[in-house]
Amino acid sequence: MADFKAEDHRLTKPAEPRSLGYTGELSQQLEPTSGYEEPGRQVVSNARSTSGVVSFLSSHEREGRWQLPRRFRALAVMGNVELDLRAAEIGYGLSVIEAVAVFGNIEITISPEIAVECDGDSLLGTFVLKYDGRANPAVASRDRVISVTGTAYAGAVTVTVKGPDEKLLAKLGRTFGFGET
């Protein structure tokens, strides 16, 4: 019981360190151990935990190489938001995208090797998950999961799972003489 009383200050005032040495002790306890990272696995370093985008009477696009935080919020009010996650850096584990469209449109494109969970509501709108081309939910590994939640009020939230641009692959096939003509 005496040990619990000695550490009782952590429960009552965790944000206030008692001394500078005490803060250093806490930060050492929070640092990951060297054996935490597995070889060959992508670890997104210094990823922000929360970020987002707001589109009000405008359009916003994110594509190419960028980091998806653990929690991302997209709001489109009479506007358009397009998120292409096929080249984005997505950390292992669960990432949540909260999409809210009010008289607007949100389009999210995800690579087929990432598992997708989609759970949203709509009121006079649509909230839909589509698999295009050869994308199949059975091929996705559960190492990286993106959960898309939110609401569409007289708007649309579309989550599309598809691989690289099919037209580009067909054009490369014709150029190099393989695949369909």
Note whether residue 74 is domain-resident: yes
Task: Look at residue 31 in the predicted model and tell me its pLDDT.
Answer: 46
- How far apart CA 101 and CA 3 sit, in angstroms, is 52
Nearest-Å Rg of the Cα atoms of the chain is 22
Contacts of 25 (CB under 8 A, 6+ apart): none
Q: Which domain holds residue 148?
A: 54-181
Question: How confident is the model over 99-153, as pLDDT tens digits?
Answer: 999 999 999 999 998 999 999 999 999 999 998 877 777 778 889 999 999 999 9
Is residue 175 assigned to a domain?
Answer: yes
Listed in sequence order, the residues at least 6 apart from 147 whose beta carbon sits closer than 8 Å to its beta carbon are 94, 95, 96, 97, 116, 117, 118, 119
**Does pLDDT of 156 surpass 60?**
yes
Whether 18 maps to a domain, the answer reads no
The token pair at 77 is 């009010």
Residue 174 lies in a domain: yes
Number of domains in the chain: 1
Please state, in angstroms and rounded to a whole number, the distance separating the CA atoms of residues 138 and 153: 31
Strand, helix or coil for residue 111 = coil
Asked if residue 10 belongs to a domain, the reply is no
27 in a domain, yes or no?
no
Residue 2 lies in a domain: no
Q: What CA–CA distance (Å, rounded) separates 114 from 99?
A: 18
Q: What is the pLDDT of residue 50?
A: 87
Residue 77 belongs to some domain of the structure: yes
Give the model's confidence band at 177: pLDDT under 50 very low, under 70 low, under 90 confident, else very high: confident
CB 55 within 8 A of CB 105: no
Tens of pLDDT, residues 49-86: 889 999 999 999 999 999 999 999 999 999 999 999 99
Cα–Cα distance, 96 to 56 (Å, whole number) = 22
Q: What percent of the chain has pLDDT over 90?
A: 53
